[in-house]
Structure formats: C-alpha cells, structure tokens
Structure 1
Amino acid sequence: MQDIVNPAGCLRQIFPEGDIVAVTDDAPLGSEAAGHGLRYVSLDDVATLPAGSNVVLFLSHNLISKKIRILFKHHRVLVVPIASFDGTPEAARYTLRMTLLTDYLKAAETATYWIDGLRSPAKKVVFGPLAAPGESADVTRLVCSLGPSLTVDAWPHAEIGVGDWVSIGSCCELSITKQPSSNGDDIFSMEGTVYASGVLVARDPRSTEAGGVRIRRAHQLRTEMTDLGSITLSLKDNVLVSASAGGKDFTERLLDVTNPDHGLQALELGIGTNLALLPNVDWRHNSQLNEGAGVMHIGFGEGITGAHMDFIIPESDHHFLP
C-alpha cells in the first residue's frame, strides 16, 4: 500500500493556507492523525478553535447531527462520517489513511467531467461494452436510462471555504438518488448485469429501531458476501432480480435487510470520482472511502427503515448515448 509521504500535500488541495486540524471523537484516532502531521483536537474542545479553522472531522462514535454541525458553523469542514459505516478502530484507521491519500483535485476534475456529460443531450449511460456480450461472458454491462428530474449531489471543487460543511462522499463521488416511493423513470432506471468487488452498509442518522435491527443483519451479510469474492447483480426495470457470490444466492437476504417494502429497487446510481485511490483499496473494509474508488456503484435501501447497501464496480468503461 502506498506510503503517506506528505499528508498535508493532499489536504492542501482543500485547505491551501493555515493549520489543518483533525477533530475527532476518538482519542486513539486523533493520536494517529497527529502522527501523520495533523493537529489533533478532541470534539469536546472544538470551542477552543479560532473562527475560520481548517477542520477534517472524523466521527467514529457519533452520527452527524444538527448539534454537531452548529459547532462548526464558522469553520471550513471536511466531514468523514465513519460511524455511519463502521466505527471500529481498524476501519477508522483505514478511513483516515484513505482520506489522506485522496487526490481531491483529480476527484473534482472527474466530477466536472461527469456533470458536463450528464448535462449533455445524453439520455442513457452504458457501463461496459456498447454491444451486449454473450450470456456466458462475465462482463459488466449496465444500461442507465436518465429521466428529466435527475439531479446530482457532488462537490466538484477542491477548496472548502469558511462556513462550508462538505462530506467526504460529496468530494469523491456523484450521487444520483431517488426516494423509495418514487414511481416511473423520472430520475433513472437501470437494467443489466454487473460484477461488484466491494459492498458497503450505511446507517442514516434518522434510522429507526426496526431499521437498526436490519442494519445489524446487513453487516453480517456484507461480511459473508465480501469473503466470497466477486458479486454478480442482475437488474431489470431498476429492480434487483438476483444477487449471488461464490455460488450462493443472496437475493432474499438483501431484500430482508434493506426493507422488503422497497422491493429491492435501486435507489442510488453512484459515480466514483476518486479513482486514483483504487490501487490502495481494501474491499474488506466497510469504509465510505471505498465507495468513490470504483467507477460506479448501485445502492439499495435508504439507511432508515433498513440498511443502505452499496455495491461497487471497480472497473468499467462508459458511453453517453442520445
């Protein structure tokens, strides 16, 4: 894995001037950040920071809340919501390292490329070959039809200004989402087969008690699927019709942990913009930094009444079609 020679060199793309402070609710993680050249300040001591401070906020134990956001309203903040995925020490250290290795300028350039492509007259994006491969070919080919109500969540910039609260996810991916109650193809619809290398489980801060039970089961399912290697997903009319890995079928269990009421409809089309990170990625970790390292990912569930699960496709070409 690549060594971190000068972490400030990466984060300077976001914070060109002044000290860069690692604020976290986990003292061992703060000590590790300090070992990489950042200044560590506990979340409990945020009030000691002068206005306009450059902050990388690592939340290992707390989910994002209005109360926490208010603490940083006068600062420049890159927030890394570790606890929404996996707050264990190993996952937290991995996420810290990937945050420091991210090339934010390249990610912003890639985001701009995709935004321009999606604003063009394109009505479809094909991931994989233009022509459908034979049934026996293990090749990703996904046709994404784009609707008139499509909107993109991204931060296609590198520098963060005073008062900005920017999620690491917005820096490293384009997220196109729909609500579970959304009907029709007004935002997007996907059809085809993909081969995923990574799986993520995420919790929304608004998660319910019943959702929390499903999310715990989703973590167990994620570990089992990841251990089996490549995961094959087939979608038809934007619904997941089969999911398998290592010769085992996981479709019904995915339906259960993401909330059966949503019927395994795809709720997120994600475009990775942090592709330069890929050689350093370890798919065993349930880290948000893995999400943007693949060319694209598909999300099921909303993270509230059940798990939000992302399946990451690490490599694929793409084509914009009218």
Structure 2
Amino acid sequence: MSPPNRISTLFGHEELSIIADSEDFLRECALLGFNTANISKLEKLPKNSIVFSFSNDAAKMTFELAKNTESKKSVFCATQVFEPTVAAALYSLKLLLSCNFEHALCTQRSVLNMLNSNESFLLSGNDADAQVSVSPHAQPYALLAEDVSHDFVQSVAEFFEVHYAHMNPQEPCPFSFTGTLKIAGILTVLRKPNPILPEGLKTSIRWLSDRISEEGALLSIKDNTITSLKVKNEEHIKLLDLAAGSRGLQLTEFAIGVNEAIASNIDYKINSQMNEGISGVHLAIGDGSSGYHIDFLSPSVNVNPIH
C-alpha cells in the first residue's frame, strides 16, 4: 500500500510496513492493504516502518533491531503502556495516518522559538485562565524536520508536542504554572504493576477518565501543585493523589500540543498516546513508576508571551 500523502513527509513516497507483536492487529492492517511483519520474525527493521509494541519485550526488541539496521526510518508506538488492545492500536493508526507531519514539525519550530525567546506566558482560549513562566536556562524538547531527515527511530508522541519535563524531584522545576484549565480528557501510563498502589485503582482511574471524556473537568493549579479536579462540581483530588505515587500532585510536565489534524477524530475514552498531541496544552503529574503518569489534555488553548 502506498503511504498516505501526509506521511510522505517522513517516508517520501516509498513503501512502509506495519510492525507489531500482535497477529490480530497485523491481520487487520493487512486487510487495510499494508505490508506487515511480526517483530519476532525480523532480524532488522524495514527501511520505513511504523512499530506497535503490545509488550515490553517487543519494545525492547524494536531498539535492538534498530541497532542492527543501517538505514531506517521508524515511528514507534508504545501501545503496551497505554492500552494494548487491537481496537486502541487501530484507532491510533487511523489518527497517525491523518496527521500533517510537515505542519506539526514546522509548528514545533515556531513554538520552540517562542519559548526560547520569552520567560512568561499567558494561556487563553477554551476558558483557560492561567500563566506559566519558564526558567531562563530551561531546555524544552522539540522534534524538528532535520531530526527526521535521515535515519531515525522516534516515539510517535515526539512529533506532536514541545514539552518541559521535571522527572527528577531533586532538581528545580524548569517551569512554574498557576491557573485553571478546562480538561477534555486524560491519558494514563503505568509502566509496570506496582503492588504498593491501592487495589482497584486501575478501575477508579478508568472510571474517572470516562467521566471526564463525557462531561469535561476543571483543573486548578497553584505554583505547580494541583489543588482541584472537578467534574460537575464533584472533587476528585484524593483519587489523583493516590494514583500519582511518590510525586503526588506536583506537576512533572508542561507541554504544548501541535497536532491540529486529529481534532475532529479524537476519542478521549481511548487511552491512546496519539491523544496527547492535540493542539492546545497538557499538564502531567506522576512518574509512571511509583504511580501513574497522568496527562490532563486541554485542547484549543493558546500560549502567548507576556511582554
């Protein structure tokens, strides 16, 4: 199958393959007309590929194969830490194929320039009432066109956001956020089961995610600490605090999404990594190990410098 025009930004007009460790998913992709291969049967990656890992072993194998592959362009989708179902992977693939990669990469560059040229920003649109400041020496992460002009293996999320992360609590946070945001959906990641977390937490988080996707939520933050998450005036701050592990309600990420193309097709009930790239902003708590990493997605929010 010829890759859709928009993904040709990455692969030219050369053929691409879908790689995974789920035969059911690969069967569905073959029905869509794609070349497919099970990762366990490969000795190296195809020249152009989209990889969906349904297990940690497959994720590890992807990067081992990449080391053995001289020429490769690969988009990596870590399905196993989000929602490792065929339905969720097909949803992610559909969104991925609808993306305007060229526009997203160009937008990342302009966002990066704005962040590097200013220190204080006002958030507006979608009823946002918030301000964020960034440290003068903080380095936001962005993916630019030159980063994918030659060989690459990149996580799908990196194509659609510019972000600051604060994963080491001993270091100062590179950003400071205060204000309120309307939340359209959340995204949750737990990299491996943690026996210390309360029983039934996964079910509770799933329930909260479904409620937010149906009714929205209001998130309040003061000095990088979440102070409230309300759905229809019901407070859910205690659940967040339980779920986030050792980092509690302290923010661990501030990101600006640049993916405008997926707005009309997004389904916040699906725990897909594609959702977090939605044009707007998202904040996160948790480290994904001691507890959940939870992204709060607020689409259609603009970030503008305060001069």
Is the shorter-chain TM-score for this pair beyond 0.5, marking a shared fold? yes
Please state if 1:156 is matched with 2:144.
Answer: yes
Which residue among 163, 169, 177 is the counterpart of 1:175? 163
Alpha-carbon shift at residue 247 of structure 1 (Å): 2.5
CA contact (8 A) 1:301 1:307 kept: yes
Unmatched runs of 5 consecutive residues or more in structure 2: none
Percent identity for Structure 1 against Structure 2: 22
Please state if 1:190 is matched with 2:174.
Answer: no
Structure-1 separation of matches of 2:102 and 2:16: 17
Structure-2 separation of matches of 1:176 and 1:244: 25
Please state if 1:210 is matched with 2:193.
Answer: no
Please state if 1:8 is matched with 2:7.
Answer: no
Relative distance call for 1:223 and 1:49 in structure 2 (3 A) is: closer
Which residue is 1:200 aligned to? 187
Which residue is 2:261 aligned to? 276
Structure-2 separation of matches of 1:165 and 1:21: 14
Alpha-carbon shift at residue 262 of structure 1 (Å): 1.8
| Alpha-carbon displacement from aligned partner over 1:28-87 (angstroms, at most 9, x marks no partner) | 22122233332101111221656xx11110112336754430112222211011111111
Please state if 1:236 is matched with 2:222.
Answer: yes
Alpha-carbon shift at residue 173 of structure 1 (Å): 1.0
Which residue among 145, 149, 173 is the counterpart of 2:133? 145
The one-letter amino acid of 1:68's match is T
Structure-1 separation of matches of 2:157 and 2:3: 19
Which residue among 109, 113, 117 is the counterpart of 1:116? 113
Unmatched runs of 5 consecutive residues or more in structure 1: 130-137
The one-letter amino acid of 2:185's match is G
Structure-2 separation of matches of 1:269 and 1:157: 22
Which residue is 2:19 aligned to? 23
Please state if 1:104 is matched with 2:122.
Answer: no
| Alpha-carbon displacement from aligned partner over 1:226-257 (angstroms, at most 9, x marks no partner) | 35411100011110001111231100100000
Alpha-carbon shift at residue 301 of structure 1 (Å): 0.4
Which residue is 1:46 aligned to? 42
**Greater shift in the superposed pair: 155-164 or 144-153:** 155-164
Other structure's SS at 1:210 match? coil
CA contact (8 A) 2:276 2:282 kept: yes
Structure-1 separation of matches of 2:132 and 2:229: 18
Structure-2 separation of matches of 1:284 and 1:111: 26
| Alpha-carbon displacement from aligned partner over 1:100-156 (angstroms, at most 9, x marks no partner) | 111111110110110111111x11121117xxxxxxxx8211201111342222212
How many residues align structurally? 304
Structure-1 separation of matches of 2:63 and 2:203: 30
TM-score for both structures, normalised by structure 1: 0.86
CA contact (8 A) 2:119 2:136 kept: no
Please state if 1:250 is matched with 2:236.
Answer: yes
Which residue among 316, 319, 322 is the counterpart of 2:301? 316
Structure-2 separation of matches of 1:153 and 1:124: 18
Which residue among 261, 265, 270 is the counterpart of 1:285? 270
TM-score for both structures, normalised by structure 2: 0.90
The one-letter amino acid of 2:75's match is L
Relative distance call for 1:173 and 1:277 in structure 2 (3 A) is: same
Relative distance call for 1:86 and 1:218 in structure 2 (3 A) is: farther
Other structure's SS at 2:148 match? coil
The one-letter amino acid of 1:282's match is D
Structure-2 separation of matches of 1:321 and 1:80: 36
Other structure's SS at 2:56 match? coil
Structure-1 separation of matches of 2:293 and 2:127: 25
Please state if 1:299 is matched with 2:284.
Answer: yes
Which residue is 1:85 aligned to? 82
Which residue is 2:29 aligned to? 33
The one-letter amino acid of 2:216's match is S
Structure-2 separation of matches of 1:43 and 1:100: 21
Which residue is 1:135 aligned to? none
The one-letter amino acid of 1:166's match is Q
**Greater shift in the superposed pair: 191-200 or 209-218:** 209-218
The one-letter amino acid of 2:62's match is I
When the two chains are superposed, the root-mean-square deviation of aligned CA atoms in Å is 2.5
CA contact (8 A) 2:3 2:16 kept: no
Structure-2 separation of matches of 1:212 and 1:158: 45
- Aligned 1:256-267 pairs, distance under 5 A: 256-259=242-245, 261-267=246-252
